[in-house]
Amino acid sequence: MKTTRKLFSVLALSLLASSVMAGVSPEEAAKLGESLTPLGAEKAGNADGTIPAWTGGLSTDAAPLAGGHLTNPFKDEQPKFVITAQNVEQYKDNLTAGQLAMFKRYPETYKIRVFPTHRSAALPDRIYDAAKQSALNAELVDGGNGIANFSDSRYYAFPIPKNGLEVVWNHITRYRGGNVRRNIVQATPQTNGSYTLVHFEDEVAFPSDMTDLDPERAKNALLFFKQRVTAPSRLAGNVLLVHDSLDQVKEPRQAWIYNAGQRRVRRAPQVAYDGPGTASDGMRTTDNFDMFSGAPDRYDWKLIGKKELYIPYNSFEINSSEVKYSDILKAGHVNQDLARYELHRVWEIEATLKNGERNIYAKRRFFVDEDTWTIVQSELYDGRGQLWRVGEGHLVQYYQHQVPAFAFEALYDVISGRYIAIGMSNEEKPHEFGYKASARDFTPAALRNAGVR
């Protein structure tokens, strides 16, 4: 009898676990586009009206373009108020511990300019349809480190999330405009503000947008990424290639590097987890890219809940083609006179390193914008439990393409006083969304040609 009870208990627990991992009911999914936005955010505003209702986001013609670059639909707005080290206590309930640490580290120069809130996120209808299919069908497998029954387009795996892992998977599987080519710049300023710009050409392509990709190869593929350094000359021609899978425990990330000096292609297993970021001067890890990327398997993920925070949003001014990199990059932090913050609802999740696993960050806390499922703030803690680095993703709506994306990311070391900014494109040509990508261009054999100086 005891054995029977034990087996029944194990079976019940197994069924409970599988039900937690499965997609939501049709009744829950029906809320998408009704009480919830098509991506799962609360459609209604907040009680005091400081966060408005979502009404569809910015139109594709929200503002004229300038040589293909975005302009600011809100250019005539002024800050409602400015948070400084002198009045920060008044606003601390809507700030993260990382933001408070920045005020403490830079009391004379760090500020947060708070503007009226605009829920500007708008995506193509086909992406909304894909999110609804994901809500009904997608489920976590392998302890949450992979996704099964995911739609072919593979966007927004869990728009009605039940746990922290599902929230971080929404960030990983969010829509980025299809295949994208970018010319971007990275800088790691010294404490005195001096820096050298590193220029990249990068491309990201997705299985659903690669017609020549082998169907078997596509089954567990998440994305393909290629990054070429074009300047400075000592690094120019080096190329990184990454193949990311949906289940990175079953099929770990594959990466290769072409070294222009040696003219050789080599496997690059270090391009994962806390391996050093490309040309980052030790200021970021590989999984710091895109605020968080790669496999989530080394952490236990906890969903803390929702809160209202002042986050970087509608960052059109700091993203302007009329602004130079020298205008943005200052000692200690980026120019906060150009940064825009708004009050938005975010999901808060916490990742704690599992026993026996290794990463230089023992704990990470992320704040995820409810309208776009984008991580916009992060706090990274060392093994002693001390806050080490603070991340900010300056979000902007590429309205002409219906894509919410970063203007750039910044990661601040509040101990050393240095930081890294990556993704700036103010002085570059506009991003190319939706280009036709070929699987042939994302193979190790293609790296040598990509690296020709």
Sign, Cα dihedral of 30, 49, 114, 367: negative
Which amino acid, 279? A
Taking 70 as the pLDDT cut, the residues of the chain under it are 1-22, 451-453
Q: Which pLDDT value is given to residue 20?
A: 41
The predicted structure's pLDDT at residue 451: 61
CA dist., res. 234 & res. 433, Å (int): 30
User: Between the CA of residue 23 and those of 128, 156, 243, 339, 438, what are the distances in Å?
Assistant: 16, 12, 27, 38, 32
What was the pLDDT predicted at 12? 38
Residue 445 is inside which H or E element, if any?
helix 444-450
How many residues are recorded in the chain? 453
Name the residue with tokens 């409970």. 16
pLDDT of residue 448: 77
Question: What is the rounded CA–CA span in Å between residue 293 and residue 176?
Answer: 14
Q: Which SS3 state, helix, strand or coil, does residue 295 take?
A: coil
The pLDDT tens digits of the residues spanning 218-271 come to 999 999 999 999 999 999 999 999 999 998 778 999 999 999 989 999 999 999
pTM beyond 0.85: the answer is: yes
148: how many CB neighbours lie within 10 A of its CB?
15
Q: What are the C-alpha distances in Å from 345 to residues 51, 252, 367, 368, 376?
A: 8, 34, 9, 8, 11
| Bridge partner list, 69 | 66
Name the one residue in this structure whose structure tokens are 């005539």. 76
